[in-house]
Structure 1
Amino acid sequence: MTIHPDRTLPASDRFQLGTDGAIGRRPLPRETIRQVLDSDRRREVVRCALAATDPIAVRTLVGRLADAERDPTVGTTIHRLRQRIHTSLCETHLPLLEKHDIVRYDEMRSLVAPAANCAAFESLLEFDSLERPISARLE
């Protein structure tokens, strides 16, 4: 009989310990990979998750995205931009990434960490420049 101590811990502790849930993991379909890579915000979340050694605060992700997206010529304040980014991350992007086991999103603690399928994106996100079409990277 095999004992899996991480399964006896509460879900909040498993999140913190970094278990990746790789048991029974199946490869992601190409359409899912394209869907994830189709959004600048999702790509950046995956990049951050891959680079992090600890869970990342959603607030940190919002700040990073706001800095990248801010356009001083547009009349939107940084506060309003951060609000829009936070809403889109929490309501759209993070749930989608979590659904496909790419990141783990702890809504109560507002933390994001890589999940079992996150590593599948490492070679696809090596390029800082998005000049190379996504479809070419998937071939």
Structure 2
Amino acid sequence: MTIHTDRLTNASDRRGRRGTDLPATFVDDSIPTAAVRRLLSNERRRAVVDALLETDEPLAIHQLVARLADAEHDATAVTSLHELRQRIHVSLCRTHLPLLENHRVVDYDPENGRVTPGARLSAVGSLLEVDLDGLE
């Protein structure tokens, strides 16, 4: 299924299989539901979307890494905070940010170390609280 924002929908069209009310417009232009599920299925990608929605301005990679590491760090864990930050940095730069950029959720500039809100950020962000299993 592809989600189109140019199509008018009524309440019954916005309901998933479980009856979850979904926003009338999921994303700018169109984006397959499977892509939305994939983007929001990972906690780090969800955290990136959430962080950019909170600040609504560009973030330096090191700020984003620090924010995610602080949220994920367990003081009783064997992994040090420094090691966790390194792991998060690598996973963001190699996997999560390029994927989010491919779907225009963020604009990622690896040369300057900046992540900027993309065209689809607010639309995808509106789905953070939606039960993705309810999407058809």
Which interval holds the TM-score relative to the shorter structure?
0.7 to 0.9
Cα drift, residue 119 of structure 1 = 1.8
Root mean square deviation of aligned Cα: 1.7
CA distance in 1, matches of 2:112, 2:103: 20
Is 1:78 paired with 2:81?
Answer: yes
Any unmatched runs of 5+ in structure 1?
1-24
CA distance in 1, matches of 2:58, 2:89: 17
CA distance in 2, matches of 1:122, 1:84: 24
Aligned length: 109
TM-score, normalised to structure 1's length?
A: 0.72
CA distance in 2, matches of 1:120, 1:104: 15
Any unmatched runs of 5+ in structure 2?
1-27
| 1:13-28 matched pairs, under 5 angstroms | 26-28=29-31
Deviations 1:59-107 (A, max 9, x none): 1111111111111222101000000000000000000000111100011
What's the counterpart of residue 99 of structure 1? 102
Equivalent position SS for 2:30: coil
What's the counterpart of residue 5 of structure 1? none
What's the counterpart of residue 41 of structure 1? 44
8 Å Cα contact 2:57-2:117 kept in structure 1: no
Q: Whose strand fraction is larger, Structure 1's or Structure 2's? A: 2
Is 1:63 paired with 2:61?
Answer: no
Cα drift, residue 56 of structure 1 = 0.6
Name the % identity: 48
What's the counterpart of residue 23 of structure 2? none
